[in-house]
Structures are given as structure tokens and as C-alpha cells.
Amino acid sequence: MENGAVYNETTEPEAKTSRRRPLGFTLRRLRGWRLPVKVIQAILSFVAVVCEEIVEDCSNCSGLYFFEFISCSAFLLSLLILFVYCTDVYESVGEDSVQKL
């Protein structure tokens, strides 16, 4: 008993977990025509934000402020969609949660 035969290993060695980057880039979920459409949407909404900021003087600014809100929201949401679908955030959050959003 003094040779240590009684104390055999009782647990299995841990399997190595695959190391992936926290924000790995992938295009698996935006294939075909969906990726170019989302990129064009982000570019056009950014152009709309820039064009709105160029306006220096207006007589009735309520429509301009509404346009600013809509174009800025569209830009931020299209960036969020690209970020979620083109990184590993989609898998870490879960497909059901992303679909609910």
C-alpha cells in the first residue's frame, strides 16, 4: 500500500476546450444576397445621416428632426444586425433569443 497503488486516479482528465476568438468573424449566417443588402443598407443610412447633418438652416425643422431620428436609428440597427450575424455573438446569445429580437 505504500507504493501508491491504492490511490489511482479517479477522474478523467479534462478534455481540451476549443479556443475560439470571442468575436470571431464568420459569414455563415448571411449568405447570398443578404450580406450585400445589409451592407448597402448600412452605407445608405450612414449617407442619410451625413446629408442631414449638412443642412444648416431650415424653416420647418420638425420633418428634418424626424428624418434624423429615422436615419440614425436605421444606421445603428443595421450595424447591430451585421455585428450579431457576422460574429460569434449569434451563437453565444442563442438562436431563439436573436430571433425574438
Q: Which residues pair with 25 in a beta bridge?
A: 87
Name all contacts of 14-20 with Cβ < 8 Å and 24+ positions apart. Answer: 20/88
Tell me what pLDDT residue 11 has: 66
Tell me what pLDDT residue 90 has: 78
Q: What is the pLDDT along the chain (101 residues), one digit of tens a residue?
A: 566 566 666 666 666 665 555 567 777 777 788 889 989 999 999 999 999 889 888 888 888 889 999 999 999 999 998 888 888 877 777 778 877 87
pTM, 2 dp: 0.66
- What is d(CA 35, CA 27) in angstroms, rounded to the nearest whole number? 8
Q: CA triplet 50, 52, 53: central angle to 5 degrees?
A: 65
Helix, strand or coil for residue 72? helix
